[in-house]
Structure formats: C-alpha cells, structure tokens
Amino acid sequence: MKQWTRLWAAMLTLTLCLTFGGLLLNCMKPMEDRAYDLSLIWAGEAMPEGWVYDQKGWTVFTQEGDAVTELVPNGFGGFDCLDELGQTFYFSRVLLEEVDSPTLCLDTGNSAVTVFLDGAVLYTDCPELDNRIGYLRLPMLEWYREEPVLVTLPQNYQGKALTIAQSTDPSGSELAEPSATVWPCAVTLYCGYAYESALVAESFQTAVPAALAFAAGTLLLALFLWQAFQGRLALDALCGGLTAFFWLAGRLSLTFLPNAQLGPLPVDMAMLARNLSLTMLLVFLASRLTGWRRKVVGLLAGVQGVAVAAHVVMQLTERLTFSQAVALNAIGLAGFVAALACGILEWKQNWFYCCFCLLTAAGAIAWAALGYWRFDGRSLGTLLYPLAGIMTAAALVTALAEAVRREIARRTEARLLAQRFELAQSSYEALRWQNEQVMMLRHDMVKHFRLLRQTVTDEKSAAYLDELIGENEKIRPVVQSGNEMLDVILNSKLSVAADAGITVEIARMKAPDKLPLTDAELCSLVMNLLDNAVEGASAPGVEQPYIKLDFSVKEHFFAISCENSTTMEHIQKEAAPGRGLGLKIIRYQADCGAV
C-alpha cells in the first residue's frame, strides 16, 4: 500500500510540474507573426516593377435580393460593369489561411463597409441599415479614416466564406468623372496579438531565466553560509553563486538606472557583468577538478580575469580595439573548451562532471536543433555566449543537485553512525555485565575453595586446593592500562584477534583512570578502532596479519596508536560510499574527548 501511495504521489507531482511548467514555457513562445496580404491591388501609388495581377480567390459581384451579377476584372485590381453609380458591391472568398488570433485589416479610406462571415455580420459602419447581403446600400463616409478598420475573426474561421460589402461614390471626385469601375479595399489577414505576444514572450524569456538564476545563486550562497557556520568555507559554492548573480546582472542590463541618473557610463556594465560571470564560471569549474587539470583550467580562469581587467581599462581610456575584444572572447572560449575536455577526462571518478558534461551536451544539441544557435564564423561571441549560457545553466543545476545528493548522503551517514553508536553502547553494556559476572564468579570460587580447604584433611587434596587458590589470585587481565573500562574492552577484542590468528603487539599500555568520555563513548571509540583493525588484518590476501597498539599519556593528552596489516583492495573498498563509518565515529569521539 505504501509503494502505491508513493507511486501515486510521484506521478501526481510530476504531472503537475510538467503541466504548469509547460504553461510557463508556452508564455516564452510568441504567437507566430504571420500575415497574408489578400489585397487585389498593390500598396502605394505607383505600380511596383514586376507586379502581376492575382485575384487570390476573390469573387467580386453585386447583388440585389437574390439576383447576383459578377463584375469583370480589369487586370489592375479594379472591376467593371457596375449597374449604377453608388451601388454597393461585394467581394467574397473562402478563408483557408491559418494564423493565431485572426484579425482583418481593411484600408477603406472613406468607403463604408460591412463584413460578413458565412453570412453573419461581424462588423458594419451602418448598423441602422438592413445588414443582409443583397439588401445593403452603403453610403460613402463624410471623412477619411486615419486608421484602418480592424475586425477580429472567431478562432473557427477557417473554411468559412468571408464577404465584404463596400460602398461606391455616385458623384465621382474633383479629379475624376463618375465611373462604373470599383476598387475593392486592401485586405490583410494577420495575428492580432503578435506584437503584444512578442512583448510578453520577450519579458518571460528574460524574467524566467533571471528568476532561476537568482534562485540558484541564492541557494548556493546559502550553502556557502551554512558551511561557513559549520567551520568549512565552500569557496566553490561562493563562486557558483557569483556566477549566477553576474549572469543575472548581464541578462537584465542593470546599467539602465545608473545611466538614467548619471548619464552614460564609461564602461559597458552589462558586458562587464557578463565577462565576470564567465570568469567566475571558469573558477567554479576549476574548483571541481583535481590534479593538473585543476591547474590548467585555473590558469585559464586567471588569464580570463586579467583580460577582463585589461578590457575595462581600455574602455576607460578609450583605447579598446576590435582585436582586443576578439582576444577576450578567444580566451573565454579556450577556457570553456579546456574545462569540458578535463571534465570528460574525470568522467568516471567525478560525479559533478559526469552530470555537467551530459547536461551541457544535451543543452547544446537542443539549442542547435531549435535553430537558436547560429555561428556565422565572423564573431566568436556567437559561439561563446550561447555556450557560456548553456554551461552556466548546467553547472548551477549540477551544483544544486550535488548539494542535495550530499545532504541525503550526510543524513544517511548520520543515521548509520547513530545505529553504530547504539550498537557500540549495547556491546558496552554486554561487556560490562559479562565483566561483572566474571568478577563475581571468581570471587565466589575463591570463597568456595577456601571453605573446602578448611574441611579437607587429606594433605594431597589440601595442597591441590592451595594451588588453585593461589593460581586464581594470580589471574590478571592480559592488558592492564590503568583504566578499568578500557581494560575490559581491550581484553575482549584482543581475544577475538587472537582467535582469528592475528598477532598482537603492544608497545605501551598506559591510560588515565579518568577520561573526558563516558564509558559508552569510550567503548564506541575503542571498539570501532579495534573492529576496523581486526577487519583490515583479516582481509583476504594478508600474508602476516598483525595489530600493533600503543596507548600513552603525553602531557594532557591521551594518545592512541593502532597499526594493522591490510591490502590495497580493502583500503579502496573502505573508501567507497557507505563505508568507513567506523573511522568517522573514531574521529568524532576523539574530537569530543580531546584524545
């Protein structure tokens, strides 16, 4: 039942995250800004060179009641054979084009229009008239429109007939006589919210990565602070946080406010923030490498930092050249390529770089597949900055995942340590009880022997009892350190070592009678020490198993030295995750007790 509950909870969580994450990502994609020019005449006054007439599926006609008369095209976008001057004419076509948020744009001048979709009125300049096809007689307007007529179509417009009724001038104009030729107005079908959608998408494209970068930087700096309070400075977490914040500053171009108040600054602050982000990313990546690879990437990070400083100085002195800007990009690109190469070399033994390289490769492939990555070959920036963004995201995600992984491992280890400590306490109680029972038994045996000695008259029997009493009084523990509890533990564990065929050598055995540890803590410390020594000396492949002990008091410190034979395979096994808990307990107890 618990497994089904966990599975259900996991599926619900994943579904919710994918659903709302998809909605958020959808806001980052603008509506397709697609437009279709459905006009029958060219734009502007003069005919464009090479213009060819295309009727684009329109049918132009007049209609009186049910009587329809089709007009004749003149090849230039006009139609002849109007029955009478001032007659309303219609032009109609089926809409097959597909756009988001469909909107019609009608450039009608001073003509009145009515728009129908499958016979239903969508717009009219004259709502008081009988707005039916075949019954309209639209007048000319007394003014010229300054803006075109915009008509929003329903989403299910495709496949329906668009019909536009347009008025004609019965009196002609000052420059022309009345004519029976009509000219349908310019018609454009486009996405009505493309511009607004582009603004929203652009805002989300900036806000979402910026919010994620801020969250990642905050979490890494919180990790740095938390480890600092624990006495450890995690400089890699600090570098990761600075990388995120510098990238955020460059992304948001935080120079707008200072420029508005103080005027243009002598340094491009957005470019500076971006270059500092690249430098800190190289430092962060170098901190996760080992050996000579760390030195190589660290050296390139240092060169990058010097180049950024020189870039700023050149800007301040107005001596920055194009070649210097190219050199800065080349250094950054070389650093990232070196970091990736070194990360691949540490693929197997470095969990961070294993995940980081996979995420970087996946991000680069996805970015290129979506068509966002276009390297024109003329500027290294077109290759560097997309790569830097992908590597920054991969590094921050991997760093946070590794922090979670370490915390889970720490909690698991703490639980195992607690279990081992409880086991040591149980062993301590068992040893203490066993020691008390043995001491009581010895005490009772001596009393019985003495009572028998008093009742026996036979000389041989009396001599034998005297010998038993004497031998019993001579019995002493193998180890006598001066600390009773320590002697009990050592004698118990060393007998186990002897039974396992391990040679035990004791250089010195001196301990204070009182230690700043409870008996349970002392038992946990020494038992884990000897258990590890016995396990190591008993490892397969050890030819001469031995344990060497040296317990001594130096000034105010109790020094314990334990040496044992073992094999390299056993040492590597102990270094694996989930192993080596005994040593951690020993270090913890030693630190607590100043041993």
Span 321-358, pLDDT tens digits: 777 777 888 888 888 889 999 989 888 888 888 899 99
Asked if residue 220 lies in contact with residue 400, where contact means CB atoms within 8 angstroms, the answer is yes
Pairing of strands 503-509, 113-117: unpaired
Q: How many CB atoms lie within 10 A of CB 33?
A: 14
Asked if residue 46 lies in contact with residue 207, where contact means CB atoms within 8 angstroms, the answer is no
Quote the distance between the C-alpha of residue 173 and its chain's center: 69
Asked if residue 226 lies in contact with residue 188, where contact means CB atoms within 8 angstroms, the answer is no
Phi-psi region of 295 (alpha: psi -120 to 50; beta: other; left: phi over 0): alpha
- DSSP string for 389-423: HHHHHHHHHHHHHHHHHHHHHHHHHHHHHHHHHHH
Quote the distance between the C-alpha of residue 477 and its chain's center: 61
Q: How many whole angstroms separate alpha carbon 236 and alpha carbon 395? A: 11
Prediction pTM value: 0.56
Nearest to 534 by CA among 560, 577, 495: 495
Instruction: Quote the tokens at residue 398.
Output: 């991997």
CA-based diameter of the chain, in Å?
Answer: 163
Terminal Cα-to-Cα distance of the chain (whole angstroms):
49
Q: What is the CA radius of gyration of the chain?
A: 45
Question: Which residue stretches of the chain have pLDDT < 50?
Answer: 174-176, 254-262, 474, 476-477, 577-582, 589, 592-595
Between CA 278 and CA 285, with CA 279 as vertex, the angle to 5 degrees is 90
Q: How many whole angstroms separate alpha carbon 79 and alpha carbon 572? A: 92
* Confidence (pLDDT) at 478: 56
Instruction: Quote the tokens at residue 246.
Output: 């510098």
Q: What is the pLDDT of residues 148-174, one digit of tens each?
A: 899 999 989 999 999 999 998 887 554
